[in-house]
């Protein structure tokens, strides 16, 4: 019986050891499986995080591309709009300039009978018209010095005098404008004045100085000394008298000067001297 009990005890011990070993092996297997599962979960989480990060980067890149494309499109649209505005503005200015230059010119007849054709855009203001008239009379004898200070009237096609203050409001293309000098007795005296605007005694009008005679100097002047200061050069006077005043290229001048000169009568000479002296001419 002891032998049987011993065998049984050994068998139970062996069975117990085998059970413990089996349980240990099962526990190790389960732990390994759990570790493997945890590892797989970590790897899946890592892969998911990497995928999410990649997706986020891709989304951000795509958003940046779309934003750049939108910005480029907006820039192109702005540039196109700006160019369209510039083109439209330029076209309007060119159209306005073309309409201005296409206007019929002003037909002008000056106080000595000369006829001019002034482009309308060059004489649409009183200042521009006055400048053209001054240039036309820069070297004209007798009345030239009276034209420079504006001793004249401009008359429209209806025969009415146009005042400088309303010139720009009434002048129209293709008008015929005539120039009339003021009467001699109404012309302000030329030359130096005393304080307060009073003329110097004995100088009612500035007398033109005749051209030099070869070999003979004018009174009170040395030969070759040229024109006196402040005096407009006369034809034939030494120096730059032969130069024509600067007139714009698009101003047309029609020369209607007098024909061949005829012998002047003594009456005409006396009338001219009377004009120079500032005395009113006798009525016929």
3-state SS class at 90: helix
**Which residues are CB-contacts of 248 (< 8 A; sequence separation ≥ 6)?**
119, 122, 132
DSSP, residue by residue, 8-37: HHHHHHHHHHHHHHHHHHHHHHHHHHHHHH
Residues 232 and 139: beta-carbon distance below 8 Å? yes
Give whole-number Cα distances, 123 to 127, 151, 156, in Å: 8, 19, 14
Tokens encoding 86: 């510039």
From 107, 101, 106, 123, select the one nearest 168 (Cα to Cα): 123
Is residue 83 included in any domain, yes or no?
yes
Does 14 share its domain with 122?
A: no
Cβ atoms within 10 Å of 118's Cβ, excluding its own: 24
From 224, 253, 251, 249, select the one nearest 239 (Cα to Cα): 224
CATH number assigned to the domain comprising residue 128: 3.10.20.90
Does 136 share its domain with 253?
A: yes
pLDDT tens for each residue of the chain, 284 residues long: 677 777 778 788 888 888 888 888 888 888 888 888 888 888 889 888 999 999 999 999 999 999 999 999 999 999 999 999 999 999 888 877 776 667 889 999 999 999 999 999 899 999 999 999 999 998 888 888 899 999 999 999 999 999 999 999 999 999 999 999 998 766 666 655 444 444 444 444 444 444 444 444 444 444 444 444 444 444 444 444 444 455 556 555 555 555 444 444 444 444 444 444 444 455 44
Is 0.85 surpassed by the pTM of this model?
no
Does 109 share its domain with 164?
A: yes
Helix H segments across 102-140? 126-136
Q: Which of 60, 84, 102 is the last residue of a domain?
A: 102
Is residue 142 included in any domain, yes or no?
yes
Q: Which of 102, 127, 151 is the last residue of a domain?
A: 102
Bridge-partner residues for 199, per DSSP?
A: 193
Does 82 share its domain with 180?
A: no
Determine the structural domain holding residue 4 and report its residue range.
1-102
Residues 139 and 71: beta-carbon distance below 8 Å? no
Query: For the CA atoms of 205, 145, 112, 204, what is the dihedral angle to 10 degrees?
Result: -10
Does 48 share its domain with 163?
A: no
Number of structural domains (the chain) is: 2
Does 54 share its domain with 164?
A: no
């Amino acid at each position: 019986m002891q032998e049987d009990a011993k065998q049984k005890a050994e068998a139970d011990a062996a069975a117990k050891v085998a059970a413990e070993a089996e349980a240990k092996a099962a526990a190790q297997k389960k732990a390994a499986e759990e570790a493997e599962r945890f590892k797989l979960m970590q790897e899946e989480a890592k892969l998911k995080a990497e995928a999410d990060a990649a997706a986020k980067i891709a989304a951000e890149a795509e958003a940046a591309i779309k934003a750049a494309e939108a910005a480029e499109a907006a820039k192109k649209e702005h540039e196109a709009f700006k160019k369209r505005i510039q083109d439209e503005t330029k076209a309007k200015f060119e159209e306005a300039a073309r309409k201005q230059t296409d206007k019929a010119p002003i037909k002008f007849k000056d106080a000595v009978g000369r006829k001019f054709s002034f482009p309308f855009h060059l004489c649409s203001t009183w200042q521009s018209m006055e400048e053209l008239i001054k240039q036309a009379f820069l070297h004209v004898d007798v009345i030239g010095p009276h034209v420079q200070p504006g001793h004249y009237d401009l008359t429209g096609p209806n025969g009415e005098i146009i005042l400088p203050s309303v010139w720009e409001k009434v002048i129209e293309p293709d008008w015929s404008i005539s120039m009339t000098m003021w009467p001699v007795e109404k012309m302000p005296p030329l030359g130096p004045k005393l304080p307060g605007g009073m003329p110097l005694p004995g100088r009612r009008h500035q007398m033109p100085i005749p051209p030099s005679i070869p070999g003979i100097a004018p009174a009170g002047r040395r030969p070759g000394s040229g024109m006196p200061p402040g005096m407009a050069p006369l034809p034939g006077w030494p120096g730059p008298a032969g130069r024509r005043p600067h007139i714009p290229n698009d101003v047309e001048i029609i020369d209607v000067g007098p024909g061949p000169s005829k012998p002047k009568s003594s009456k005409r000479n006396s009338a001219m001297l009377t004009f120079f002296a500032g005395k009113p001419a006798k009525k016929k």
